[in-house]
Amino acid sequence: MNENPRDENTLPRHPIRVVAERTGVSPTLLRAWERRYHVVDPGRSEGGQRLYSDADVERVFMLKRASEAGRTIGSIAELSNDELRRLPYFKRRAVEAIEGDSPSHAEGVTSVRQAILDYYRAEYPEVWQDSRELVEKGAATASQVFGRTVFPSMSTDWETHPNHIGHEQSPGCWRCHDDEMATADGEHVIPMDCENCHVFLVEDAPERPDLAELIAGL
């Protein structure tokens, strides 16, 4: 029997591939998150490979949900950063409302809006009094986000369809452009050459280049 469940939970034991399978966060993205944001600090096997605990896996999963929801909300929210700051916990509350179980699309559109209004009326009466318009705008925004992303009858939301623009959240165009998918005779692959899709203006520049100048030279 396990004597200390907490130790069990923080025991480094899952290789990165398992974390990827369980959370849907690719190894590349996870390493980038570790490098840039230090989201988790995995242990190492004797061979130097990353090993993650159950607690790490849980944390990565939560972060993925939060970042997807936050990104969706951030990218289409009509609220400015300044307005967002005036609505305490808006993003968190909006994510909770949008993630709540709605029996149908139509009902969700209404109930998400209502949930935001109820929240500020009950929890932040001074915000409700002084900034009613802003609360209404926040409620409308959350409702729109729900309307554009969550379709209960089709079981789709922002998690079922990853963002395929770029290669950070999903392989994006590399789903096919992987230098491996080939014609039946194996003669021709779908090319992954970066230059097919990108123009590299400069490589390995020792100093930050002047973008305007580079573009003018194209």
Name the site residues for ligand HEC (rule: CB under 6 A).
Answer: 165-168, 172-173, 175-177, 190-192, 194, 196-198
Q: Which is nearer to ligand HEC, 29 or 97 (CB)?
A: 29
Q: Which is nearer to ligand HEC, 18 or 201 (CB)?
A: 201
CB of 154 to ligand HEC, least distance (A): 21
CB of 78 to ligand HEC, least distance (A): 21
Q: Which is nearer to ligand HEC, 114 or 196 (CB)?
A: 196
Cα 11 to chain centroid distance, Å, stands at: 26
Q: Which is nearer to ligand HEC, 80 or 183 (CB)?
A: 183
CB of 6 to ligand HEC, least distance (A): 37
